[in-house]
Amino acid sequence: MNQSIFQIALVVKDYDEAINFYTKKLGFVLVEDTILNETKRWVVIKPHGNAGCNIMLAKANNEEQLKFVGNQTGGRVFLFLHTDNIQRDYQNLLENNVTIIREPSKEIFGTVIVFADLYGNLWDLIEPIK
């Protein structure tokens, strides 16, 4: 058996503001932006150079879903992003005024920074030990 997770959904308030944050501030690639109907689009992004999991930006379409925007994991780190150069990416986060929750720290698995996206979801940016 050969299975892999190729895409996850991230609930957002607005497609365009989310696309702008992830592509302009984090340098992600917009893979697809297809209009499905008047209120729904199929929007997929991915980290630059990523061979792993894509992220589908899913716009909250009711009050119940809106409650979870920015808090899909109850305040825990939600997404884990590997990098080959944490200093470069840390500088990019600072230059783009991305909220840093925890400054770079050395851990047994590598160097990690915790940051928040535009909605408050927490991310680990990790440069693994080679």
* Domain of residue 104, CATH code: 3.10.180.10
| The dihedral sign for the CA sequence 52, 33, 37, 118 | positive
- Beta strands 7-12 and 122-128, pairing class: unpaired
Q: What is the pLDDT of residues 96-127, one digit of tens each?
A: 999 999 999 999 999 999 999 999 999 999 99
Alpha-carbon span 50 to 28, nearest angstrom:
9
Share of the chain above pLDDT 70, in %: 99
**Number of domains, the chain:** 1
* pLDDT higher than threshold 90 for residue 50: no
Does residue 62 sit within a domain? yes
The answer to whether residue 2 is domain-embedded is: no
- What average pLDDT is seen over the chain? 95
The β-bridge relationship of strands 54-59 and 77-82 is: unpaired
Residue 1 lies in a domain: no
Instruction: Say if CB 85 and CB 127 are below 8 A apart.
Output: yes
* 25 is a domain residue: yes
Task: Report the distance separating Cα 109 and Cα 127, nearest Å.
Answer: 8
Residue 43 lies in a domain: yes
pTM, two decimal places: 0.93
Segments forming the whole domain that contains residue 89: 7-128
CA 48 vs CA 27, 33, 108, 109: distances in Å = 7, 17, 25, 22
The pLDDT of residue 51: 73
| Residues listed for the chain | 130
Model confidence band, residue 28 (pLDDT cutoffs 50, 70, 90)? very high
- Tell me whether residue 32 is in a domain: yes
